[in-house]
């Protein structure tokens, strides 16, 4: 990813910095000249790391003093399947606890951040096959919609003077994980498949654009008035079949099977409907209007870049 040195370096604190999105985000921010600190759950190894334990003990407000921006990407992995009742509780608890902990620290900080970029996800919309989903579309129904609604509500409690942006992230396509992680191994052994009808909209976004969009929202003057929910999805909607078929093409493997919906539900239970079969035609209106330029405008190109 290209990095441009910041005209005015910012102090940015990142929670969830070691994850699939957080790792390249921290690297991109530092390459752009910003001062980045991270929250970790282990003993800190560097002066820019600070230990925290969301839901167990408060975060020292002094950690936030001087931070211009706080980015919150913390949360348990929804890709860990199947979803047991205990894991579903952890998915929600981890997100809300992390956000509550950051917001509480902001309330007691001497100089709270001016901007809070807090995670959310396309799951907030539920299954909406007939809707074109703008950034401020109302939440839908289902487990992930409930999780994201609670997650966003926790972020909205940030103190007055802190501008809050909730990052409604779609299906992230990139190397080393994300949406392709469970699809690639099956395709490699010749089991590349259409999932359900394959006609459901997957709100894809390339990892490079996910990171680029967050950097843009955190640092760009043209994004300085953006607030509330922001859709992080590619500019051209794509159905699931385009993505899974392109994986097979890139791996030079057959694409002849179709996994019926009932089989996915039998194997994955409600995660099948929530993650694979739901349809969300998200439009990144706020992001585009704020001046962000996508590097990957088609799902197939994003898939190609992941190999």
Domain boundaries, the chain: 11-305
Please check whether residue 147 is in contact with residue 120, taking contact to mean a CB–CB distance below 8 angstroms: no
For 179-213, how does the pLDDT look when each residue is reduced to its tens digit (9 = 90+)? 888 888 889 988 889 999 999 999 999 999 999 99
- If 0-12 CB within 10 Å is exposed, 13-18 middle and 19+ buried, where does residue 84 land? exposed
pTM above 0.75, yes or no: yes
Q: From the CA atom positions of the chain, what is the Rg in Å? A: 19
Q: What's the token pair of residue 13?
A: 């604190």
Provide the 10 A C-beta neighbour count for residue 91: 20
DSSP letter at 33? T
Please check whether residue 98 is in contact with residue 75, taking contact to mean a CB–CB distance below 8 angstroms: yes
For 53-100, how does the pLDDT look when each residue is reduced to its tens digit (9 = 90+)? 998 999 999 999 999 999 999 999 998 888 999 999 999 999 999 999
Q: How confident is the model at residue 2 (pLDDT cuts 50, 70, 90)?
A: very low
- Calculate the dihedral angle through the C-alpha atoms of 206, 212, 213, 217, rounding to the nearest 10 degrees: 170
For 149-188, how does the pLDDT look when each residue is reduced to its tens digit (9 = 90+)? 999 999 999 999 999 999 999 999 999 878 888 888 889 9
Cα(25)–Cα(210) distance, rounded to whole angstroms?
A: 9
Q: Which residue's structure tokens are 């956000």?
A: 99
- Mind giving me the DSSP string for 100-162? HHHHHHHHH-SS--SEEEEEEEGGGG-SEEEEEE-TTPPP-SSHHHHHHHHHHHHHTTSPTT-
Cα(90)–Cα(201) distance, rounded to whole angstroms?
A: 27
| N residues, the chain | 307
Q: Residue 7's pLDDT is what?
A: 63
Secondary structure class of 285 (helix, strand, coil): helix
The verdict on domain 11-305 having CATH code 3.40.50.280 is no
185 versus 300: the higher-pLDDT residue is: 300
* Percentage of the residues of the chain whose pLDDT score is greater than 70: 98
Q: Residue 181's pLDDT is what?
A: 85
């Amino acid at each position: 990813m290209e990095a441009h040195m910041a005209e005015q370096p910012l102090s940015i604190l990142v929670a969830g910095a070691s994850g699939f999105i957080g790792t390249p985000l921290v690297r991109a921010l530092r390459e752009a000249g910003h001062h980045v600190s991270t929250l970790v759950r282990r003993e800190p190894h560097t002066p820019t790391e600070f230990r925290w334990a969301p839901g167990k003990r408060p975060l020292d407000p002094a950690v936030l003093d001087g931070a211009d921006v706080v980015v919150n990407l913390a949360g348990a992995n929804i890709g860990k399947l199947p979803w047991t009742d205990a894991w579903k509780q952890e998915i929600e608890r981890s997100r809300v606890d992390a956000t509550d902990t950051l917001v509480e620290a902001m309330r007691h900080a001497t100089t709270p951040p001016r901007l809070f970029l807090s995670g959310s996800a396309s799951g907030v919309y539920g299954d909406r096959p007939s809707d074109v989903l703008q950034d401020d579309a109302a939440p839908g129904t289902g487990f992930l919609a409930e999780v994201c609604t609670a997650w966003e509500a926790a972020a909205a409690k940030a103190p007055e003077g802190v501008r809050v942006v909730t990052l409604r992230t779609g299906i992230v396509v990139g190397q080393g994980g994300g949406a392709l992680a469970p699809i690639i191994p099956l395709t490699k052994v010749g089991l590349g498949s259409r999932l359900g009808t394959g006609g459901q909209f997957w709100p894809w976004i390339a990892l490079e654009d996910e990171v680029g969009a967050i950097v843009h929202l955190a640092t760009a003057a043209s994004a300085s008035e953006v607030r509330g929910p922001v859709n992080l999805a590619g500019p051209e909607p794509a159905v699931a079949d385009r993505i899974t078929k392109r994986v097979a093409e890139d791996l030079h493997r057959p694409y002849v099977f179709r996994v019926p919906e009932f089989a996915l539900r039998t194997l994955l239970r409600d995660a099948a409907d929530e993650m694979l079969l739901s349809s969300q035609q998200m439009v990144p209106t706020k992001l585009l209007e704020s001046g962000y330029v996508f590097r990957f405008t088609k799902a197939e190109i994003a898939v190609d870049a992941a190999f």
